[in-house]
Structure 1
Amino acid sequence: MRPENQTVVTEFILIGFSNFPHLQMVLFVVFSLMYIVTLAGNIIIMTIIRVDKSLHIPMYFFVAILSFSETCYTLVIVPNMLTNLLIEHKTISFMGCATQMCFFLGFGGTNCILLVVMGYDRYVAICKPLHYHVLMKQTFCTKMVAFSAITSFLFALIETSFIFKLPFCRANQIHHFFCDMAPVIKLACTRNYIVEIIIFIFCMLAIFLSFILILFSYMLIFNTILKIPSAEGKQKAFSTCASHLIVVVVHFGCASIVYLRPKSTYSLEKDTLISVTYTVVTPLLNPIVYSLRNKDVQIALRKILERKMLIQT
């Protein structure tokens, strides 16, 4: 991944939150609390879905996989970010930067495709309820998860390889708190427009195409919901999609702002704020949305807690 003529740059300096020296400790405390809640929330959701047999259906299978992917996604970024808030020399090795970028893109892409698959699951459940158990078999669901991960990490490996084959010979200060694509590409000695076009196409496929597929699914879903005669039936059908819709809007909204906008609008302060949203806030939002807004998960959690209380007494 690292050519012989690029040995000048051996490490990168992550500028990140250096513009806010007096807020380093405050940011560390705030982000640490958010990270703990994110980890706890995702672990609780995965445990509940694993333990409660009533949740052993495709919808919650995908929720559990998304929680696992989000946990890995935050592990790639947040621990290193928290460490850099406490130390003076915020460096990362050349290969460490490439590895972080590859896993970040891999898990980020996996989340995108999983949200598409979850949209398809809701489409089948509402538009083709009689065929749900036939179309959404466990083998099919497992294959979709495998496809999401393999495809995303293949694209991530290709993108990362292209980026780190660029010549890095002078500047090594990344104006970000992790190794994201745009700030790393800006450090290259020469611009390679072919590489930038390829990366943009990959981003379009991962973000725009995924969002279009979800949008198409919900057009069919809403068309079916509008045909339901009773208001109660409409509300019940829509409630099964609300949590997924909230996560989709936040996830793809932040991703499109960062990766599908003109390079001329790049700003360290704005990008840092947006990146905090999709690396810290969005992973925190997912377990909250899928637990607080989901009656099945709430009931399952209550059963588990009552069971534990009975055992202790």
Structure 2
Amino acid sequence: MCEANQTKVLQIYLLGFRGLNRFKPLFFIVFLLSYIVILGGNILIITVVSVVDHLKIPMFIFLKHLAVADILMTTTIVPMMLNIILVQEGTVSFFWCITQLYCFGIFAGVQCFLIAVMSYDRYLAICKPLHYASLINPHISLQLIIGLWFLSIFLLSVELTLMCLLNFCGLNYIDHFFCDFGPLIELSTSNKLTSMMLDLISSIFMVSLPFAFIVMTYIYIFLTILKMSSANGRKKAFSTCSSHLALVCTSYGTLITVYIVPTDYSEVNINKYKSLLYIVVAPMMNPIIYSLRNLEIQRAVHKLLNNVKMAKTDV
């Protein structure tokens, strides 16, 4: 309960990007265009994988659901961020703030899990090609994806339920453009140790362990590739992993920097700008990486565009 001279927090003021001044239109245009690219690129991936039959294999099924998670995560944050840039700061209810944090955490967790499962798919394809079809197929892939969503929802539900039991009294503004855990937990007047420990445990399960799993699978992959006698075989094996490796570097690099590397939660400005990398840059780069580096996606896009042109011509 709040003390007699304190008011329970019912609204949160997001200070956003203070001091933009004349750069405000530039920031707005850059982030708006980035959001459009994120939506367009990821919707293209979803459409191509859903429509083209030969792409309905585990690797591309995982990629399609990763694109869905990218869209959901950025849509949870970016529209509000654009509004905050225009009006200098934003006001949201405490309930909406917790809801945004909850959704963001789920979508980010699903991203991490999916990228880890994609590395397992590459491991089976290169290290156990004869058993690939029996160990993973579209049906098993769908079961894995559903399991990952439930795991992410469970972890965030436990963490956010405990956070809602804390008292939030007095101060009600955070120097950020969305309701992130660090700045929000600083507003609590309760003992925050348990919540912070639970957040660390969730981060380990959702970021550190999947990353460790990826490193382990790629150690086996590289050892298997080095044992190949054919230079063409090694080159082909490396090329099948290159897109995923670029994805790992883009997605996990900033997440680990912000949420796993120890930092003082009071250093909000540093984490605020680093957050832009995984909220805007990573979801924008993912479809670009797979469009530029994956021949099957390129061919499927060309085939889809040709079919659309032919349909228009017939009409």
TM-score (norm 2): 0.94
Counterpart in the other structure of 2:35: 35
| Residue identity opposite 1:121 in structure 2 | D
For 1:273 and 1:165, the matched residues in 2 are separated by 29
Q: Does 1:197 align with 2:197?
A: yes
Counterpart in the other structure of 1:21: 21
In structure 2, relative to structure 1, the CA distance for the partners of 1:104 and 1:265 (3 Å cut) is closer
Counterpart in the other structure of 1:180: 180
Offset of residue 22 of structure 1: 3.0
Per-residue CA distance 1:131-156 (angstroms, 9 max, x = gap): 11111122211111011111001111
| Residue identity opposite 2:120 in structure 1 | Y
Per-residue CA distance 1:161-220 (angstroms, 9 max, x = gap): 222322111111111110010011111123321221121111111111110011111111
Counterpart in the other structure of 2:293: 293
Counterpart in the other structure of 1:86: 86
8 Å CA contact retained: 2:17, 2:88: no
For 2:258 and 2:268, the matched residues in 1 are separated by 12
| Residue identity opposite 2:66 in structure 1 | L
| Residue identity opposite 1:158 in structure 2 | V
When structure 1 is superposed on structure 2, of 266-275 and 108-117 the one drifting more is 266-275
Question: 3-state SS of the aligned residue for 2:182?
Answer: helix
8 Å CA contact retained: 2:182, 2:265: no
Q: Does 1:99 align with 2:133?
A: no
For 2:97 and 2:274, the matched residues in 1 are separated by 20
Counterpart in the other structure of 2:8: 8
8 Å CA contact retained: 2:183, 2:268: no
When structure 1 is superposed on structure 2, of 90-99 and 225-234 the one drifting more is 225-234
Offset of residue 280 of structure 1: 0.5
| Residue identity opposite 1:133 in structure 2 | A
| Residue identity opposite 2:125 in structure 1 | A
In structure 2, relative to structure 1, the CA distance for the partners of 1:122 and 1:7 (3 Å cut) is farther
Counterpart in the other structure of 2:146: 146
Q: Does 1:114 align with 2:117?
A: no
Offset of residue 7 of structure 1: 6.5
For 1:103 and 1:49, the matched residues in 2 are separated by 25
8 Å CA contact retained: 2:211, 2:252: yes
| Residue identity opposite 1:193 in structure 2 | L
**Structure 2 gap segments, 5+ residues each:** none
Counterpart in the other structure of 1:229: 229
For 2:239 and 2:88, the matched residues in 1 are separated by 48
Offset of residue 89 of structure 1: 4.7
8 Å CA contact retained: 2:185, 2:192: no
For 2:125 and 2:7, the matched residues in 1 are separated by 55
Counterpart in the other structure of 1:262: 262
Counterpart in the other structure of 1:242: 242
Counterpart in the other structure of 1:156: 156
In structure 2, relative to structure 1, the CA distance for the partners of 1:163 and 1:19 (3 Å cut) is farther
For 2:309 and 2:10, the matched residues in 1 are separated by 55
Counterpart in the other structure of 1:215: 215
8 Å CA contact retained: 2:226, 2:234: yes
Per-residue CA distance 1:22-73 (angstroms, 9 max, x = gap): 3222111100000001100000111111111111111111111110111111
For 1:4 and 1:138, the matched residues in 2 are separated by 52
For 2:89 and 2:127, the matched residues in 1 are separated by 55
**Structure 1 gap segments, 5+ residues each:** none
Counterpart in the other structure of 1:71: 71
When structure 1 is superposed on structure 2, of 43-52 and 160-169 the one drifting more is 160-169
For 1:55 and 1:275, the matched residues in 2 are separated by 32
Counterpart in the other structure of 2:271: 271
| Residue identity opposite 1:182 in structure 2 | G
8 Å CA contact retained: 2:12, 2:174: yes
CA RMSD of aligned residues (A): 1.7
Percent identity reads 39
